[in-house]
Amino acid sequence: MQDSVDGDPCKFVLWSRGSEERFTLQASSASIKMTWVETISTLLDAQNNFLSGAATWRDGKRKGPQSCIPSWLQGTLLRNGPGLFSIGDSEYNHWFDGMALIHSFTFTNGEVTYRSKFLKSETFKRNMKAERIVVTEFGTLVYPDPCSSIWSRSLTHLRNLVPDFTDNNLVNIVRYGRDYYASSEVNYINQIDPVTLETVGRTNYRDHISLNLATAHPHYDDEGNTYNMGTAIMGFGRPKYIIFKVPADTSDEEKKKKKPALRKVQLVGSIPVRSVLSPSYFHSFAMTQNYFVFVEQPFKLDIFKLATAYVRGVTLGSCLRYDKEDTCV
């Protein structure tokens, strides 16, 4: 923001980082302009403090009025989302690309404790080591990309035609058994400690079940079992949508083993993809007591585009397209 322009006390200018566009705003008086500028500055400072402060471990406690945080509210709310949009001189282009920041709000006896920590994904570690963005994200292509060998391998071996994705899991927190994972919509998930928010380690869905992509929005039944859906695009026969279950298994014997609940994943069923080269993108699905409800939408993933995205120098986001010919259910 620039708080004066053209020597006019009623005007100021706003722009977005990385954009050429400038917006000049004019208030009806100089005092109103000052109020606007102060309010916007406060908002921008708050946002900036949040993003920069997020680079380190944060731990704060706030006691609210009893009417605000009732004493019966106990437990921890875990959230996830993008928290860092620039590393060194490099910047991300898309909201879906920022480095994953895990938040927790722990409610105890009318008090809330906030914590946040960056997910220490392989992507995060590589970016921090290089002090710049070195891994391609949904809307930010890094070219030439040091991980191009992964892409090359993917193109060489048909089984891995779909490229290896970033493990910057910034969408949601999912639970499998007693294990908590940061998740996005790719084959990697990163386990976290729900108390300290430390990253425990990376897991590849493909080590447990045949799929390339899985949603970040599973469902849970009354027994604590987790149900999720994914897509098996390449290397697993004809493309299909996969429904899978991870049993909760809270037995004492299972507790002692300390092994990931995912190892007990079960295939519930699969749905063939209607058009083999363009499976639907889906963000979530519904589950009732007796049914899974899945909508095969006309917003599709173009597998050919995906497999050649890197060599063509386009982002993964551009491999999605709306098929206006395919709108009948």
Scored b (16 or more CB within 10 A) or e, 63-76 reads: eeeeeebeeeeeee
Cis peptide before 82 (omega within 30 of 0): no
Residue matched to tokens 């949601």: 172
Q: 287 with 243: CB under 8 angstroms?
A: no
Q: If we measure between CA atoms, which residue out of 151, 218, 212 comes closest to residue 183? A: 218
Outline where DSSP puts E strands in 164-294.
Answer: 172-176, 179-183, 188-192, 199-204, 213-214, 219-220, 226-232, 240-246, 266-272, 286-287, 292-293
Query: Are 251 and 237 within 8 A, CB to CB?
Result: no
Q: CA 39: distance to chain centroid?
A: 30
Beta bridge partners of 12: 25
Residue indicated by tokens 């910047």: 91
Query: What's the half-sphere exposure (Cβ side, CA atoms, 13 Å) at 89?
Result: 0
Rounded to an integer, what distance in angstroms lies between the CA atom of residue 194 and that of residue 184? 17
**Residue 217 marked in a binding site:** yes
Q: 283 among the known binding-site residues?
A: yes
CB atoms under 10 Å from CB of 107, counted, come to 17
Burial of 314 (0-12, 13-18, 19+ CB in 10 A): middle
Which segments are annotated as binding site? 217, 283
Which segments are annotated as binding site for Fe cation? 217, 283
